[in-house]
A and B are shown apart, each in its own frame.
Chain A
Amino acid sequence: MTTEAGILDLSKSFDEELYNAFIKRYGVDFKACMQCATCVSVCPLSDIVPGMPRLDMLLAGLGLFDEIAKRLSPWICDQCMECSRHCPRKANPAKVLAALREIMTAKYDPTGITRRFIIGRAKAKTSKESGK
C-alpha cells in the first residue's frame, strides 16, 4: 500500500497472515540476509529480473508480499542453487524463492485449495522457538 505522497507505508503493507505462514513453514534463517548481493552476482537470471534473489529476500523479510507479487523471480527461478551455494550468511535464497512460489500460489489460487494446505491457520512460531 502506498500513501498519497508516494511513500510506502511498511506497517500497513505488512501482510501478517502470509508472513506468519511463511515463517512457520520455512523458518527464520533467511532473515539473516545482510543484502550483500552475492546471490545477485551469481544468479544467471538476475539480468532478466534485477535484484533477483536479493530483493525477494528483503521483501519477504519485511512481509511485503504485495511487492513480491509484482516480481517475476519466484516464477522464473530454475533452482540452480548457485545463490545458496555462495550466500555468506547461509540464508538459502533458492529455498526462499521456492517457498515464495508456494506462498504466492496459495495467495492467488482462486480455488482456495492451495491456500488451505499452505497457509491454513498457521501462526508464527514464537521467537523463543524460532529465533537465534
Chain B
Amino acid sequence: MTKVGVYICTCKAVTEVIDVNKLAEDVKKIEGVELVKFIKSCYDLDEIVKDLQEKKIERVVIAGCSPRYVLDIAREKITNAVPDISPLWIEVAPIREQAAWAFRNDKQRAQEAALTYIKAYVARVKVAEKIPKEIEVERVKRVLIIGAGIAGLTAAVDVADMGIEAIVVEKRPYVGGKVVQLARYFPKMCPPYCGIEFILGRLRARANPLIKIYTNAEVLEVYGSPGKFKARIRVNPRYVDPEKCLACGKCSEVCPVEVPNEFDFGLSKRKAIYLPHELAWPYAHVVDPNACLELKNPGSCGKCVEVCSTGAINLKEQPKEFEIEVGAVIVATGWEPYDATKLEHLGYGKYPNVITNVQMERLLAPNGPTKGEVIVPGLGRKPRRIVFIQCAGQRDENHLPYCSAICCGATVKQAITIAERCPDTQIYIFYIDVRTFGLYELFYKQAGKYPNIFFIRGRAWKVEQDPATGELIVYAEDTILGRKVSVRADLVVLAVGMVPSLRVNPPSWYKSGVGRSWEQELLKIPRHQYFVESDYICFPMETKRTGIYACGCAMWPMDVQTSVSTAHAAAMRATSIILGKARTEYSYLTDPNQIRIDTIKCTQCKRCTEECPFDTYSFDERGYPKPDPLKCRRCGICVGACPAVALSLPYHNTDLIMSMIKSIEIKSDKPQIIVFACVNDAYAALDIALKKGKTLPPEVELVIPVPCIGSVNMRWITDALSLGIDGILLMGCRSGEATATQQCHFIRGPDLERTRIENLRDTLQKMMIEPERVKLIEITLEDYNIVVEKITEFVEEIKKMGLNPMKQFAGGGMEYGFGYTF
C-alpha cells in the first residue's frame, strides 16, 4: 500500500476562499493518504523531505499553486535530498488556480474543486512509476561535419575547442566552400580568403589533432542512434598525393585536356589536372576523373606522371571507404546559385554578356579569369554600361518564391567595386525593393552616392539585343515615374538567388528508422518550404532528426556573418547533446522518460511510426514498431496516436491520465467537463486568466495538463465519456502547414489531434454519444483574455445538449469498456 503525504499550502490566496481545515479532514479520508499537513508556501519543502527520509510517506502531493511554477523545483529539490524517490512520485495539485481562483465567487464549489484536484493527483502519484533522475548512455565524443565551407570549418573549431573530435567531410578537393569564390565580403570589403586562412592557420583547424578534414570525400550513409551514429564515408581519389605535390604546375602545363572551370563558374578553362585555385588548401593539384584521358582510357596519355618531379601523381589511386562512430552530425552543405538558364526572358545562355552575380564575383576576384578587371565576356573590353537585375527569379512563384536575403547587399557590393574600378562605367540597378537589412542600409546609402550608380525601381522583364549595335536592352516599368523605361548595356548581371542545399537536395544519406527516408518525407512538401529545422524560431539549428543539426546556407539564404553565427550555434547544440548533463529539454539522451511499447497490446497498425515527428521508430524482427528512446523528444504524440494504448512515457501515459479521470465523482444530475490543455500554452494561458480574476463555470471538473495536445489518446476520451463525463475540451496551439502559421513545438500536434477527433465521430455515434461532446480549440499563450470565454462557450454547448446518456451507467465499473478499436 503506497503511502501518500498531502501538503496543503496555507498561503492567503488559498485560505481566503477555501476552508483548509475542512479540506484536510476530507483529504484524510482519501484512500492511500497517510498524512495531511499544512505548509506555509509551495516552496516550503523541508517538512516533506523529513517525512520522506523518515519513511512516513513514499509519495507527495503538494496542494498549492500551478505545477507550472513549482513542480520542477519541488522535484529537483526533493530528489536531491532523497535520492531514492522517483521524481514522478511528486505532484502538485493546483488548488490555488483551479479551485480558489477558478471559483472565487462560489466558496462551496471551490471547496469541492480543491478536493477533486487533490483526489486526482493522489490517484496519479499512486500509479506513477519509479524512474531515476537521470540515466547514463554511451556517447561518442566525435562530431561529423558535412561541408568544409565557412560554416563547417567554424563549427569544427568550436567542437574541437570543447574537447570533442571533429570529422569534416568535404566533397570538393579544397576547403572554403563558396566564400573562396567570392571577390569580397560586404560590408567590410575584405578578401574572403582571409577568413578561411584565419580559421585554418590562426585557429589551427589545419593542425588541430582533434580536427580531421577529408576533402574529395562524401558521406554515404548515417544510421543508428544519436550519441552513437554510424557514418559511412568515402574518400574519392585525388590521384595526387598532397604531401608530395609542390604545386609547381608542370603537370597542368603538359595536360592536353581543357574543360570549363567550375571555380570560375565556366568563365575560364582549366586542365584535367589542376590546382583548384591559388589559395587552395590542400595546396596540391588534383585530377578530374571525368576529364582525364588516361583514366578514361588507360594507356592513352599519362603525360603528367612523366613530368612530375616528386612522383606525386598516382593515377591508380582507389577510393577508400570507412565507417566511424559519431555522437552527432552537423550539416553545413551550403548553397547553389539558382539555375539562370531557367530565366529565358532575361537572356541567360542566349547572350554571352548576360551573366549571373556569382560569375560577376569571379570577374571581380583578383584570382578570377580577368584578374579582377571588369571585362565583358565576348567583347574583351570594359563595359560602358552595366545593368544589374535584382530578384532574377526570387520572389517569383515560378522560380524561387522567397527573398534570397543577400543579393541586394551583394549587388551593392559589386556595384561599388565596379564604380571604383571603372569610374566611367554607368551602373543601373533594377530592383523591386532594396532589401539591405540591418546595418547594410548604410552600405546601400553609400552606393546611392556614387555618381555612376543608378537605382531604378522596377522589375526587369525582358532582355533583348539591338540587332544593329549588338547592345543589350533591358526593359522594365519604372514604378516611381510610372513609365516604361529601357536601358542599353553591354553587360547584364542577373542577381540570382541562393538555393539552400538542404531544401533542394534533401539528405539522401540519412537512413530513417521506418524505411521511409527523410528525403521522401521532405519531398511531400513544396520545395522551398522544406522544413528541415524542428522549429524555425525556437530550435532553428535542430533538424527534425535528433542529433542532426544544420547551419549556414544549407538551411536558408543568409549572409556570411549569419552563417558563422549559426555554425557556432549548431556546434553548441551538437556538443551539448554529447556532453549535456542537465535535465534540459535538449538532453534527450539522459532523460529517463523513455518511450516504451507494450507489444502485447500493439496491433502493428504502424500509426506511431507515421505520427512521430522525429523519426523515432524502426521495426523489430517480429514487425513490431521499435522506438529508439534516444531519438525521442518526449512529445507524447505517439502515446496519443496509438489506438491500442500500447505506448507510454513514464511521465505521460494511460495509467496516469485515467487514474485522474476515474477519481472524479460522477454526478447524475449535473454536467461535468474535462479540459486537456497543452502545458506550454493553453494551460499557461488559463493560469494567467485565473490570476487576472476570471472564473470558470462550475461544470468544469478537471483541467489536465499534457505535454502536447497531440498526446491525448482517443481512448481516454471514449473512456471518460463512457464513465459519464459530459464534455471534453482540448486546448492546443495553432495548427497549420509546415510554414509560417504552424506553431506547435512538436511540428503538428494540433493537426494530428484534429484528424483523430474527426475520425472519432463515427465511434461516438455508435456509442449513442453526440460527437460534439468532444471539441478541439486553438488557445495559445497569448489567449489568456479569451480562454475562459472559450471554455464557457463549450460548457454552454454541452448544457444545451443535456446530460451524457452514459451517466445512468456511471459507477458501474466501466473500464476501458468502449474502446473504439473493438
Q: Which residues of A contact B (CB under 8 A)?
A: 3, 5-12, 14, 19-20, 23, 28-29, 31-35, 55, 58, 61-62, 89, 124-128, 130-132
Contacts and interface: CB of A to CB of B under 8 A. Distances in A.
Interface in B457-487: 457, 475, 478, 480-481, 483-487
A8 B457 CA distance: 14
Nearest to A13: B485
B488 A58 contact: no
Contact of B454 (A32, A61, A125, A128): A61
Contacts of A61: 454
12 contacts: A7-B475, A8-B478, A8-B486, A10-B487, A28-B450, A28-B451, A29-B449, A34-B445, A34-B448, A58-B481, A62-B456, A89-B445
Given A8-B483, A35-B457, A89-B445, A127 B451 contact: yes
Contacts of B428: 10
B385 interface: yes
A61 B455 CA distance: 9
B446 interface: yes
Given A3-B486, A6-B484, A89-B445, A131 B456 contact: no
A11 B385 contact: yes
A8 B481 contact: yes
B419 interface: yes
B258 interface: no
A132 B449 CA distance: 6
A131 B449 contact: yes
Contacts of A34: 445, 448
Contacts of B416: 131
Nearest to A64: B481
A86 B475 CA distance: 34
A89 B455 CA distance: 16
Contacts of A28: 449-451
B138 interface: no
Contacts of A23: 451
Nearest to B478: A8
B452 interface: yes
B72 interface: no
Given A9-B486, A10-B428, 15 more contacts: A7-B486, A8-B481, A9-B487, A10-B454, A11-B489, A14-B426, A19-B451, A31-B448, A31-B453, A32-B448, A58-B480, A62-B454, A125-B451, A131-B416, A132-B446
Contacts of B489: 11
Secondary structure of the B contact surface, majority rule: strand
Contacts of B478: 8
A67 to B, nearest CB: 8
Contacts of B446: 131-132
B423 interface: yes
Contact of B450 (A8, A19, A131): A131
Nearest to B451: A23
A29 B549 CA distance: 46
B598 interface: no
Nearest to A24: B451
Contacts, number: 82
Contacts of A62: 454, 456
Contacts of A55: 480-481
Which one of A9, A34, A35, A127 has the highest number of Cβ atoms from chain B below 10 Å of its Cβ? A127
A61 B481 CA distance: 13
B793 interface: no
Interface of B: 385, 416, 419-420, 423, 426, 428, 445-446, 448-454, 456-457, 475, 478, 480-481, 483-489
Contacts of B480: 35, 55, 58
A31 B449 contact: yes
B445 A130 contact: no
Which one of A5, A7, A19, A33 has the highest number of Cβ atoms from chain B below 10 Å of its Cβ? A7
* 6 A-B pairs with least C-beta separation: A11-B488, A7-B484, A131-B450, A28-B449, A126-B423, A8-B485
Contacts of A19: 451
A77 to B, nearest CB: 20
A34 to B, nearest CB: 7
A32 B449 contact: yes
A131 B475 contact: no
Contacts of B448: 31-34
B43 to A, nearest CB: 53
A14 B451 CA distance: 13
Contact of B419 (A6, A32, A89, A127): A127
Given A8-B481, A131-B419, A31 B486 contact: no
A61 B423 CA distance: 16
A45 B198 CA distance: 58
B449 A10 contact: no
B460 to A, nearest CB: 12
A10 B456 contact: yes
Contacts of A131: 416, 419-420, 446, 449-451
Contacts of B457: 35
Contacts of B450: 28, 31, 127, 131
B488 A124 contact: no
Contact of B488 (A9, A33, A125, A132): A9
A63 to B, nearest CB: 8
B388 to A, nearest CB: 14
A12 B481 contact: no
Nearest to B483: A8
A12 B451 contact: no
A126 to B, nearest CB: 5
B174 to A, nearest CB: 35
Nearest to A126: B423
Given A7-B475, A11-B385, A35-B457, A127 B485 contact: no
A127 B486 contact: no
Contact of B452 (A9, A12, A32, A127): A127
Contacts of A3: 486
Which one of B420, B456, B457, B481 has the highest number of Cβ atoms from chain A below 10 Å of its Cβ? B481
Nearest to A61: B454
Contacts of A9: 485-488
Contacts of A7: 475, 483-486
A7 B448 CA distance: 24
B77 to A, nearest CB: 56
A126 B428 CA distance: 17
A127 B488 contact: no
Contacts of A35: 457, 480
B459 to A, nearest CB: 15
A8 B481 CA distance: 10
Which one of B451, B454, B457, B487 has the highest number of Cβ atoms from chain A below 10 Å of its Cβ? B451
Given A126-B423, A130-B451, A10 B484 contact: no
A85 B481 CA distance: 25
Contacts of A6: 484
A89 B434 CA distance: 15
Given A8-B481, A128-B423, A131-B419, A31 B487 contact: no
